[in-house]
Chains A and B, each alone.
Chain A
Amino acid sequence: MSATMREMRLVLAGFGGQGVLFAGKVIASCALLEDREVSWLPSYGPEMRGGTANCSVTLSDEAIGSPLVTAPDALVAMNQPSFDKFIEEMEAGGVCVVDTTLVVDTAAAERRDVRLCAIPAATMAEEAGLKGLGNIVLVGKLWAETRFCERDTLDAAIEHCVPARKAAMVEKNKQALTLGIEG
């Protein structure tokens, strides 16, 4: 556990369908709800069409310049190609949360200056009856490592982001958060 990260330049990356854009939106909404500055920028280019997706999220107390995060101090990686690509771009002293369900090789990246937090998020979610919520387990883990907002704000952001037609998913998302925080 570390000090609160009020300023965070985060990349979330994985395959399309794993929910990296939604997870980024949850984190961005935390800053919205706390009336801080925030930007969220998705990849929409050829890499997305090739099956991988990522988004840049910046949380700050100051006006945000480029919303494109090129040297992240936090990374959430949900697949091997995303881990391999973005770990190299990270700032020294950053935090990398990886889902070991699909990221099987973290040893190759020789980034001893980055704090690596590896959990089998998708597997943990599935075993807890929360299939498909590995992304939110990782948000919980990232929060546990960085405290990027108040704890209550996380739950409020879930309520904010889950569409009304999927209201039944609110509780499951909250459980996934807890699973990540305690995991």
Chain B
Amino acid sequence: MAQNANGKNKVLMKGNEALAESAIRAGCRFFFGYPITPQTELAAYMAKMMPKVGGTYLQAESEVAAINMVYGASAAGARVMTSSSSPGISLKGEGISYMAGADLPGVIINVQRGGPGLGGIQPSQSDYWQATRAAGHGDFQMIVYAPSTVQEMCDVVTDAFDAADKYRTPVMILADGMLGQMMEPVVLPEPHDPSTLPEKPWATTGHRGQRAHNVVNSLYLTADELEELNVQRYERYAVIQRDEQRAETYLTEDADIVVVAFGASARIARSAVNAAREAGIKAGLVRPITLWPFPDDVLEATTSTAKAYLVVEMNMGQMVDDVKLVVSGRAPVEFYGRAGGVIPTPAEVLERICALNAEAGE
């Protein structure tokens, strides 16, 4: 441990371990998972630390079992988490949909690897659509955080648990193999005592003859009743879209070329933006921190100066549609990405920024 300038204790931690430690500090006392590269250190850390804080770590027989254990612990009112990597998240999809249908909070971490199928084990961002559009069947969305540093991974874990409880919804943290495996200095969040967290009067904790039964369920066979629940849920989603959008802007005030990138690729894009500025190009970066709700308002603000947009991702272009919906034809939206676990270099991104700038100047 080292003291930084503010007197805070900094530690050097792997992203996967920082996610786990921050979850424990956020009051998470139940973790159910199944090993898969590149997130296994997260589960291993939980296996070691949960018993020391009176929590439960359980390696389930499968990802499907793990997410259903999350459903159970959440229904009983606990702060609970699971984690996996891309193929394992697909298996959890059914359980995530059930949680959404039963209005159950919980945090799901996806340390993405290349796909589709078993794919590879190198870093990727190719589960953007899965996370923001269709993690499972039915009419539902979930809040998706996309941290880009190990410090931000620590910070969003606390936010994810708080938002999950506040809106009674599953929340996903979308990381990737690079962020999970790398170490950076972090200041860990202050620990929360789970007994001090807000009460959950809807939880199935035993009525002791004092109140009516609480029921946690996602099966509604009467169409009108199910429609009404969907409508109510979408009213909550509207509040989330209004209040929970989050993004960082970097040098966008006068930017001609606005790069849009999240997570690991935003780190690379930021280096490219710096290099472009050194070359005299007015480049800037919008970095969505929430992918759903997508930070429409922050991106909208850049349209007054932007001559062109460049979306940079470690996939085949899954965020491009969300950017186009905001830009709405007012400027060209181009894409540069690498897929399958290949990590783009700042030089590659810089080349695209230069080309776009040349076209925009014509």
Contact = CB atoms under 8 A, between A and B. Distances in A.
Nearest to A57: B183
B309 to A, nearest CB: 20
A38 B151 CA distance: 12
Contacts of B177: 44
Interface in A55-113: 63-68, 70
Among A35, A44, A63: residue with most chain B CB under 10 A:
A44
A35 B5 contact: yes
Contact of B270 (A39, A40, A44, A63): A63
B109 interface: no
Contacts, number: 69
- Secondary structure dominating the interface of B: mixed
Q: How large is the interface on B (under 10, 10 to 19, 20 to 34, 35 or more residues)?
A: 20 to 34
Interface in A1-49: 25, 28-29, 31-33, 35, 37-42, 44-46
Contact of B178 (A33, A46, A67): A67
A62 to B, nearest CB: 9
A125 B268 CA distance: 39
A46 B271 CA distance: 28
Given A25-B12, A25-B183, A67 B2 contact: no
B213 interface: no
Contacts of B249: none
B2 A35 contact: yes
Given A33-B2, A35-B4, A35-B5, A40 B182 contact: yes
B182 A45 contact: no
Which of A37, A45, A46, A70 lies at the interface centre, i.e. has the most chain B CB atoms within 10 A of its CB? A45
B107 to A, nearest CB: 24
Contacts of B3: 35
Contact of B271 (A37, A41, A42, A65): A65
Nearest to A63: B270
A44 B40 CA distance: 12
Interface string A129-157: 00000000000000000000000000000
Given A29-B12, A33-B2, A66-B268, A38 B184 contact: yes
B298 interface: no
A64 B267 contact: yes
B345 A66 contact: yes
Contacts of B341: 45
Contacts of A63: 270
A67 B346 CA distance: 11
A28 B183 contact: yes
A28 B345 contact: no
A103 B177 CA distance: 31
Contact of A65 (B4, B11, B122, B346): B346
A66 B185 contact: no
Nearest to A67: B182
Contacts of B12: 25, 28-29, 32, 38, 40
B56 interface: no
A45 B342 CA distance: 12
Interface in B47-63: none
Contacts of B183: 25, 28, 39-41
Given A35-B4, A35-B10, A38-B12, A66 B181 contact: no
B2 A45 contact: no
Given A38-B184, A67-B178, A45 B270 contact: no
B78 to A, nearest CB: 32
Interface string B264-285: 1001101110100000000000
B2 A32 contact: yes
A125 B178 CA distance: 33
Contacts of A66: 264, 267-268, 271, 343, 345-346
Which 3 pairs, one residue from A and one from B, show the smallest C-beta to C-beta distance?
Answer: A65-B271, A40-B183, A41-B182
Given A40-B182, A65-B270, 12 more contacts: A32-B2, A32-B11, A35-B4, A35-B185, A41-B178, A41-B182, A42-B181, A45-B120, A45-B122, A65-B271, A66-B271, A67-B184
12 contacts: A28-B183, A32-B11, A33-B2, A35-B3, A37-B185, A39-B182, A39-B184, A44-B37, A64-B267, A66-B267, A67-B178, A67-B182
